Amino acid sequence: MTTTTSAVPQGSGQKPTVKQLRKGLNAKFTLLLLVLPSLFLLVLINLYPFIYAFFQSLHDGSLIATGPFVGLQNYTDVLTSPAFWKAAWFTLIFTIVGVFGSWLVGLGLALLLRTKIPGRGTFKVLLMLPWVVPIVVSSTAWNYLLATPDSPIPALLNAIGINSPLFLADPTWAKITVCVFKVWVSFPFMMLMTSAALASVDGVVYEAARMDGASNWQQFRLITLPIIARSTYISWILMTIFCVNDFPTIYLLTGGGPVDATTSLVVLSYRTVFQNFQTGPGVAIAFLMTITLVIVSVVLFRQIKKAANQ
Amino acid sequence: MSILHEVEAATPEPVQNSATADRESRGQWWRFALIAIISIIMIIPVVITVILSLRPGLTSTTAGFTFENFKYVFTSTDTVKWLGNSLAVTIGTMVVSVIVAAPAGYVLSRGKSRAVSGYSLLLFVIQSLPVITAVIPLFVLFARIGLVDSLLGLAIVYVGASMSVATWMMAAYIDSIPITLEEAAWIDGASLFGGFRRVVLRNSLPGVMSTAIFTFLVSWNDYLVAVVFLRTQTKYTLPIGLQSFFQQNATDWGSVMAVAVVMMLPPVLVFACLNRFFSVGGVGGSLAGQ
- Please write the tens of the pLDDT for every residue from B170-220: 887 888 788 888 888 888 877 777 888 788 888 888 888 888 888 898 899
If one compares B249 and B269, the residue with the highest pLDDT of the two is B269
Which is more confident, A16 or B41? Answer: B41
d(CA B233, CA B227): 11
What are chain A's domains?
18-57 (no CATH), 76-309 (1.10.3720.10)
Contacting residues for A250 by C-beta, under 8 A, at least 6 apart: A94, A178, A256, A262, A263, A264, A266, A267
A100-114, A249-263, B102-116: segment of lowest average pLDDT: B102-116
B274 close contact with A: CB closer than 8 A: no
pLDDT tens digits, one per residue of B121-137: 777 777 777 788 888 88
- What is the percent of chain A where pLDDT is above 70? 88
Q: Tell me the torsion sign for CA atoms B231, B235, B237, B243.
A: positive
Q: Is residue B217 part of a domain?
A: yes
With beta carbons under 8 A apart, name residues in chain A contacting B106.
34
Return the pLDDT at B6: 38
In a domain, B61, yes or no: no
User: What does the pLDDT read at residue A50?
Assistant: 84
Whether A242 and B161 lie within 8 Å, measured CB to CB: no
Which of B130, B192, B260 is facing A30, going by the closest CB pair? B192
- Whether residue B226 is contained in a domain is answered as yes
Contact B8, B16 (CB under 8 A): yes
Cβ neighbours of B111 in A, within 8 Å: 31
* Out of A185-189, A261-265, B226-230, B272-276, least confident range: B272-276
Helix/strand/coil for B233: helix
Query: Are the C-beta atoms of A64 and A273 separated by less than 8 Å?
Result: no
Residue of B39, B48, B128 with shortest CB distance to A123: B39
Claim to verify: residue B38 and residue B100 sit in the same structural domain? no
Task: Tell me the nearest-neighbour CA distance from A39 into chain B, angstroms.
Answer: 8
Q: Is the pLDDT of residue A107 over 80?
A: yes
Q: Are residues B6 and B135 in the same domain?
A: no
- B234 CB-near residues (< 8 Å, 6+ apart): B78, B81
Give the span between the Cα atoms of A119 and A113, in whole angstroms.
Answer: 10
How far is CA A193 from each of CA A115, A181, B289, rounded to the nearest angstrom? Answer: 17, 20, 14
Of B73, B87, B45, the residue nearest B258 (C-alpha):
B73
Co-location of B216 and B276 in the same domain:
yes
Nearest CB to A211 within list B9, B194, B278: B9
Domain count for chain B, please give it.
2
Residues B206 and B173: beta-carbon distance below 8 Å: yes
Task: With beta carbons less than 8 A apart as the criterion, state whether A110 and A195 touch.
Answer: yes
Least CB-CB distance to B137: which of A27, A53, A293?
Answer: A53
pTM of the model as a whole = 0.84
Nearest-by-CA chain A residue for B98: A38
Q: Rounded distance, CA B286 to CA B290, Å? A: 7
Element spanning A91, H or E: helix A82-96
Nearest beta carbon to residue B239 from set A63, A113, A134:
A134
CATH number, residue B267: 1.10.3720.10
User: How much is the mean pLDDT over chain B?
Assistant: 81
Instruction: Say whether the peptide bond before residue B239 is cis (omega within 30 degrees of 0).
Output: no
Instruction: Return the number of other C-beta atoms located less than 10 Å from residue B4's C-beta.
Output: 10
Window 87-106 of B: residues touching A by CB (8 A cutoff) are 99-101, 103-104, 106
Of B44, B196, B288, nearest to A189 by CB-CB distance is: B288
Q: How far is A133 from chain B (nearest CA, A)?
A: 6
Whole-number Å distance between alpha carbons of B136 and B222: 16
pLDDT higher than 60, residue A8: no
Distance (Å, whole) CA A31 – CA B17: 63
B269 Cα to chain A: minimum distance (Å): 10
B82 touches chain A (CB under 8 A): no
Query: What one-letter code names the amino acid at B93?
Result: T
What average pLDDT does chain A have? 83
Same-domain check for residues B231 and B279? yes
Residue A70 has pLDDT above 60, yes or no: yes
Task: Please tell me what DSSP assigns to residue A69.
Answer: B
Same structural domain, B100 and B217: yes
User: What average pLDDT does this structure show over A70-89?
Assistant: 89
Question: Which one of B129, B215, B228 would you mutate to disrupt binding with A, by most A Cβ within 10 Å of its Cβ?
Answer: B129
Cα–Cα distance measured from residue B192 to residue A264, given in angstroms and rounded to the nearest whole number: 49
Residue B44 lies in a domain: yes
Gap from B51 CA to chain A (nearest CA, Å): 11
Are B36 and B164 found together in one domain? no
pLDDT score recorded for residue B279: 57
Please calculate the CA angle A61-A67-A71 and round it to the nearest 5 degrees.
85
Cα angle value B53/A254/A74 (rounded, 5°): 140
Selecting from B52, B156, B242 the residue whose C-beta is nearest the C-beta of A45 gives B156
Cβ atoms of B78 and B243 within 8 Å: the answer is no
| Range B226-232 contact pairs with CB under 8 angstroms and sequence separation of 24 or more | B226/B154, B228/A270, B228/A274, B228/B135, B228/B139, B229/B139, B229/B142, B229/B148, B229/B149, B229/B150, B229/B153, B229/B154, B229/B157, B230/B149, B230/B154, B231/B148, B231/B149, B232/B149
Query: Could you tell me if B100 and B45 lie in one domain?
Result: no
Residue of B nearest to A235 (CA): B285
Report DSSP letters for B184-210, one per residue: HHHHTT--HHHHIIIIIGGG-HHHHHH
Contacts of B94 (CB under 8 A, 6+ apart): B212, B215, B216, B219
Is residue B30 in some structural domain?
yes
Specify the pLDDT at position A22. Answer: 53
The verdict on B161 and B274 lying in the same domain is: yes
Let me know: does A145 contact A151? Beta carbons within 8 Å. Answer: yes
Residue of chain B minimizing CA distance to A120: B32
CA distance B238 to B89: 11
The per-residue pLDDT for A310 is 56
A192 confidence band (pLDDT: 50, 70, 90)? confident
Chain B partners within 8 Å of A279 (Cβ): 136
DSSP sequence for B98-125: HHHHHHHHHHHHH--SHHHHHHHHHHHH
DSSP string, A200-228: TS-HHHHHHHHHTT--HHHHIIIIIHHHH
Q: How confident is the model at residue A16 (pLDDT cuts 50, 70, 90)?
A: low
Considering chain A, what percentage of its residues have pLDDT values greater than 90? 27
8 A C-beta contact, residue A45 and residue B163: yes
Same domain, B18 and B99: no
A134:B34 CB<8 A: no
Note whether residue B65 is domain-resident: no
The per-type count for chain B, helices as H runs and strands as E runs, is 14, 0
B223 with B162, same domain: the answer is: yes
State whether B39 and A30 contact (CB < 8 Å): no
> Best mutation site among B8, B140, B249, B271 for testing chain A: the one with the most A CBs within 10 Å?
B140
Min distance B154 CA to chain A CA atoms (Å)? 11
Q: B93 lies in a domain?
A: yes
Residue B165 to chain A, least CA–CA distance (Å): 12
Q: How many residues does chain A have?
A: 310
Are A21 and B183 in contact, with CB atoms under 8 Å apart? no
**Same domain, yes or no: B244 and B103:** yes
- Is residue B192 in some structural domain? yes
Structural domain boundaries, residue B30: 2-54
Taking the CA of residue A282 and the nearest CA in chain B, the distance in Å comes to 9
Same domain, B224 and B162: yes
Neighbours of A148 (CB within 10 A): 14
Residue B283: strand, helix, or coil: helix
Coil, strand or helix: which one is A128?
A: helix
